[in-house]
Chain A
Amino acid sequence: AQRVTQPEKLLSVFKGAPVELKCNYSYSGSPELFWYVQYSRQRLQLLLRHISRESIKGFTADLNKGETSFHLKKPFAQEEDSAMYYCALIPRTAGNKLTFGGGTRVLVKP
């Protein structure tokens, strides 16, 4: 069974500082990985997925199969980045399901 671990429950950084949210996964096959974000009082929404290799709102994430990680990074955090971030995995098999990590709350201080 797949598992997603986000070791940090809370990350507090100052505006303009770099921020990195760690995500490690365990899955024997080839997964699809995502980062979802939930801003205060808003619904959960997709931030980015590894196959698109895009930078969204200045965030990037690289899939490292050797380390089974998919860390999310942004070089200069902004106050509007304060939110709850979830790393998630879908295995590429039939009947697959999205498994979320425990979430990391990011607080960007002015």
Chain B
Amino acid sequence: DTAVSQTPKYLVTQMGNDKSIKCEQNLGHDTMYWYKQDSKKFLKIMFSYNNKELIINETVPNRFSPKSPDKAHLNLHINSLELGDSAVYFCASSPDSNNEQFFGPGTRLTVL
């Protein structure tokens, strides 16, 4: 009965590879997000979707492409991975953008 789930939990890959992280929420929320937490624990929003529509797209490289097949899912695809992409990526959801956000457990991405 996990509210916001992410897979995989850990991802170790080589530079230059393409990888995806999946996120699902079963809370019926309209808004979903992707955040990046760097090695210094700094959290920064990357994307926000509302009802499958992109509403926030921060300054992230084009190599990052979010995809929302339906309201309950927001996946993150990363092309041509670089060393600097190593971080913990958190998915979150909320009823609307003014409300409390519920976070997934995070995906620790390590690029070698």
* Residue ranges of A at the interface with B (Cβ–Cβ < 8 Å): 32, 34, 42-46, 49, 84, 86, 90, 92, 95-100, 102-103, 105
| Chain B contacts for A42, CB-based, 8 A | 105
* A42 to B92 CA separation, bound complex (whole angstroms): 14
- Whether the pair B98, A90 counts as a contact (CB closer than 8 A) is yes
| Chain A contacts for B100, CB-based, 8 A | 34, 46, 49
* A86 to B37 CA separation, bound complex (whole angstroms): 12
Chain B residues touching A, majority SS? strand
* A81 to B90 CA separation, bound complex (whole angstroms): 22
| Chain A contacts for B105, CB-based, 8 A | 42-43
- Whether the pair A86, B43 counts as a contact (CB closer than 8 A) is yes
- Whether the pair A103, B41 counts as a contact (CB closer than 8 A) is yes
Q: Whose C-beta in chain A lies nearest to the C-beta of B44?
A: A100
- Min distance, Cβ A79 to any Cβ of chain B, angstroms: 20
- Whether the pair A32, B43 counts as a contact (CB closer than 8 A) is no
B25 within 8 A of A: no
- Whether the pair A96, B103 counts as a contact (CB closer than 8 A) is no
- Min distance, Cβ A46 to any Cβ of chain B, angstroms: 5
Q: Whose C-beta in chain A lies nearest to the C-beta of B56?
A: A97
Q: Whose C-beta in chain A lies nearest to the C-beta of B97?
A: A96
B7 within 8 A of A: no
Q: Which of A43, A90, A96 has the most CB of B within 10 A?
A: A43
- Whether the pair A43, B104 counts as a contact (CB closer than 8 A) is yes
- Whether the pair B101, A98 counts as a contact (CB closer than 8 A) is yes
- Min distance, Cβ A97 to any Cβ of chain B, angstroms: 5
Q: Which of A34, A84, A97, A102 has the most CB of B within 10 A?
A: A97
- Whether the pair B56, A103 counts as a contact (CB closer than 8 A) is no
- Whether the pair B43, A100 counts as a contact (CB closer than 8 A) is yes
* A45 to B101 CA separation, bound complex (whole angstroms): 8
* A28 to B70 CA separation, bound complex (whole angstroms): 35
- Whether the pair B97, A97 counts as a contact (CB closer than 8 A) is yes
- Min distance, Cβ A13 to any Cβ of chain B, angstroms: 19
